[in-house]
Amino acid sequence: MSSNLSEYIQSNSRKNEQIIDSPNAHRILWLFPILEMFIYLFLGLLLFQISSLFLSNLPPIPSFFLPSGSLPSSTSLLILYFIFVLLYMLFKLSSQLLDSGSKEIILTNSRLVIRSSGLSTETIEFDLDKVESVTVRKSFGGSMFGYGDLIIMGVGGSRHEFQSISNPSVFRSKFNDASIKFIASKSN
């Protein structure tokens, strides 16, 4: 649970309002970029082996990385490839980190609060009776490892999607329970 959104809830809380749940992104989000990195590294080593067969007769390329002079062509290409892969993966992992922390959601006993942040911050609050549906979408892997997408539809047609959330079915169940209690308390 994000401390900023929790602080927002506490500073703008309603009478007898309590936080029920705040789903987090699943760790599987990090698996695919890391697997991609290993695939690129494996391909780089494979290309190095293949290129060393074909480029062994070429003259060496001057090295900008080592002070000792020049390297064989295939070694220079391999170094450039690994630098490119490293920079690409740093970009990919940092964008994944920014993406995973850019949307937050908190369920209380009277409302659902969604915050999207980036260069600017947008906070949306729904009373629980103003949420039309909470949909869970799971792939085969999501069913096996306990993650899925959470899609929240507001009464006005607004749609908010959260990808790779841990245990989205548990959140939907907690939302349904809180919504029933909220609607019952409003009618009293």
- 18/135 Cα distance (integer angstroms): 23
Contact assessment for residue 124 and residue 101, using Cβ atoms and an 8 Å cutoff: no
Helix H or strand E segment including 127: strand 121-127
Domain boundary among 98, 123, 144: 98
Please state, in angstroms and rounded to a whole number, the distance separating the CA atoms of residues 102 and 118: 6
Q: Say yes or no: 36 and 21 in one domain.
A: no
Q: What is the pTM of this model?
A: 0.68
Each residue's pLDDT tens digit, 121-154: 788 888 899 999 999 999 998 899 889 999 999 8
- pLDDT at 152 (0 to 100): 92
Q: How far apart are CA 70 and CA 76, in angstroms?
A: 9
CATH classification of the domain holding 133: 2.30.29.30
Closest CA to 164 of 30, 33, 36, 37: 30
**pLDDT digits 0-9 by tens, 8-41:** 777 777 778 888 888 888 888 778 888 888 888 8
Give the per-residue pLDDT at 1.
Answer: 44
Query: What are phi and psi for residue 101, nearest 5 degrees?
Result: -100, 5
Of 98, 117, 152, the last residue of a domain is: 98
